[in-house]
Chains A and B, each alone.
Chain A
Amino acid sequence: MAHLKHRASSVAFDAQSANAVELKGVTFGYDRRRPVLAAIDMTIPRGKVVAIMGASGSGKTTILRLIGGQLRPVKGRVVVAGQSVADLDRAGLFGLRRRVGMLFQFGALFTDLTVFENIAFPMRELTDLPDELIRDLVLMKLNAVGLRGSAQLKPSELSGGMARRVALARAIALDPMLVMYDEPFAGLDPISLGVVGQLIRRMNDALGSTSVVVTHDIYESLKIVDYIYFVSEGRVIAKGTPDEVRASTDPFVRQFVDGEPDGPVPFHVRARPLAAEFAAHAG
């Protein structure tokens, strides 16, 4: 990114480091009594597509927020491109974020801008590129996600799948070294789901970037990712390649893959015994 407008800080990010992201003993909680993450270790090698899977509320999105520096760990280290995120000042953090793309759960497109302007936004804000070049780059990104014909639509005129593709094009607008996807498949029809999944894989390989996909869609993930971490109650409880996951006998992985309603992740939320509940009302 030779044309980046501001030199954010003197922090040097090592885009060639073997691991794009490393979480070492990361603990995080909004209060001390209820940790969201407990001593998580995770390694995301450069150039790979890695999924973080788990039930809702298991701490998956928190991991993305820690990688992006929106949250700071209580204990442990989050290292992105060789730099400890917690050690970065605001300028350093913004320097890091210029090289990271993120796709939010429902796209988070700017509703007052057209599709074209949404994708041009990071280019206009962060680079000195001339308008003609920005136009060409935006059209290239839109073409890559198959939406060149929708450039002048507003986000409110897009379907869920199209909005997700536009958000993907915006996330890769500046050719980031790392792209984070927060539930990219949520609420999509099967066709859109397949399209978005394939785009994530293709974009990652074409840009030579690294992708972290937070999702609970096991079938789509098994098709496109290189490695999977399973997170439950703030801990990594299983991990492996798609083939290892398919062959796994781990009860949690089996429950997740087979979609069983009860198992290591219980159907009932923790509560006092039913008999005691009724007795209390009767008394």
Chain B
Amino acid sequence: MPADALGRGVRRLGAGTINAVVRIGYAARFFVAILTHSPQSILRVGLTTREIYFAGVLSLVIILLSGLFVGMVLALQGFDVLEKYGAGDSLGVFVALSLVRELGPVVAGLLFASRAGSAITAEIGLMKTTDQLAAMEMMAVDPLSRIVAPRFWGGVISMPLLAALFSVMGVFGAYIVGVRLIGADSGTFWGNMRAGVGFWPDITNGIIKSCVFGVAVCLIAVFEGYTAKPTAEGVATATTRTVVIGSLAILALDFVLTVFMFRGMGAK
């Protein structure tokens, strides 16, 4: 009996692994298909603009408020620790680097996956469930050009903008708490920030990170929606998968990108 159970376990593990590899391969082909169908949808600016509104503009409230609170908490926690080591003057640069390099892209990416990614998956999944995609195919209109590519690019364009706004609001929140409430010096706050944050190593790398996260989350969102089982349960599962896989992808990619972008800086 234990041998049977072991055999079943191994079979299940093998089937799961094969299934995962097949899905990754399918997702890669799907990504190539989106790219080849992109010129037609990008030329029709209105389609992508509409998706920027849904994925980007409608995410503004959650992104701006989250950025504000994250910046405020950073200032509160950071000021205490920095003061303990006599480095209270570095509050501005500490907050800015934390936000621009890491928290801005990562937290904005996680929020984006939850708010916009799940909405994209649910919308495409429901269109599939209610035969809207099949109807489009039968009208000789390719859903990849008309539905998938505009949503993908709308999200990819929105993501770095949202991450930048998250960081801006975070800095603003840190200023309110650090300077206005705690009493750190305003000139030192801004001056050290300007001196300590570089455009290329910090801001540009942060933007690159948010672009990579945008591509990952949007690909996962449209793929999960497009391949969702056409049932209520299937759409629910696909939406959950988008949030879970998208969030994990952001954290894993963040580690890899951080290794390549910032690892050598301290050694110099």
| Mutual binders A and B | yes
Does residue A125 face the partner (Cβ distance < 8 Å to B)?
Answer: yes
Contact with A along B61-85 (1 / 0, CB 8 A): 0000000000000000000000000
Contact with A along B124-148 (1 / 0, CB 8 A): 0011001110110111111000100
Given A108-B130, A108-B132, A110-B132: A102 in contact with B138 (beta carbons within 8 A): yes
Q: Which of B126, B130, B131, B138 is close to A97, meaning CB atoms less than 8 Å apart?
A: B138
CB distance from A89 to the nearest CB of B (A): 13
Does residue A18 face the partner (Cβ distance < 8 Å to B)?
Answer: no
B138's nearest neighbour on chain A, judged by CB, is A102
> A277 vs B172: C-alpha distance in the bound complex, in angstroms?
73
Given A104-B131, A108-B130, A110-B132: A98 in contact with B140 (beta carbons within 8 A): yes
The answer to whether A70 touches B138 (Cβ under 8 A) is yes
B131's nearest neighbour on chain A, judged by CB, is A108
The answer to whether B140 touches A126 (Cβ under 8 A) is yes
Interface of chain A residues 72 through 113 with chain B (CB within 8 A) = 94-95, 97-98, 100, 102, 104-106, 108-111
Does residue A54 face the partner (Cβ distance < 8 Å to B)?
Answer: no
The answer to whether A111 touches B130 (Cβ under 8 A) is yes
The answer to whether A111 touches B131 (Cβ under 8 A) is no
> A94 vs B138: C-alpha distance in the bound complex, in angstroms?
8
The answer to whether B140 touches A104 (Cβ under 8 A) is no
Chain B residues whose CB sits within 8 angstroms of the CB of A104 once the complex forms: 131, 134-135
The answer to whether B140 touches A102 (Cβ under 8 A) is no
The interface on chain B, measured as residues whose beta carbon lies within 8 A of the other chain's beta carbons, has a size of 14
Does residue A122 face the partner (Cβ distance < 8 Å to B)?
Answer: yes
Chain A residues whose CB sits within 8 angstroms of the CB of B146 once the complex forms: 125
CB distance from A58 to the nearest CB of B (A): 20
Report whether over half of chain A's contact residues are helix, strand or loop; otherwise say mixed: loop
Chain B residues whose CB sits within 8 angstroms of the CB of A121 once the complex forms: 139, 141
> A121 vs B47: C-alpha distance in the bound complex, in angstroms?
13
Does residue A129 face the partner (Cβ distance < 8 Å to B)?
Answer: no
Does residue A12 face the partner (Cβ distance < 8 Å to B)?
Answer: no
CB distance from B141 to the nearest CB of A (A): 5
The answer to whether B130 touches A125 (Cβ under 8 A) is no
Does residue A161 face the partner (Cβ distance < 8 Å to B)?
Answer: no
Does residue A11 face the partner (Cβ distance < 8 Å to B)?
Answer: no
The answer to whether B139 touches A70 (Cβ under 8 A) is no
Q: Which of A8, A70, A105 is close to B137, meaning CB atoms less than 8 Å apart?
A: A70
Chain A residues whose CB sits within 8 angstroms of the CB of B130 once the complex forms: 106, 108, 111
CB distance from B133 to the nearest CB of A (A): 9
B139's nearest neighbour on chain A, judged by CB, is A122
Chain A residues whose CB sits within 8 angstroms of the CB of B142 once the complex forms: 94
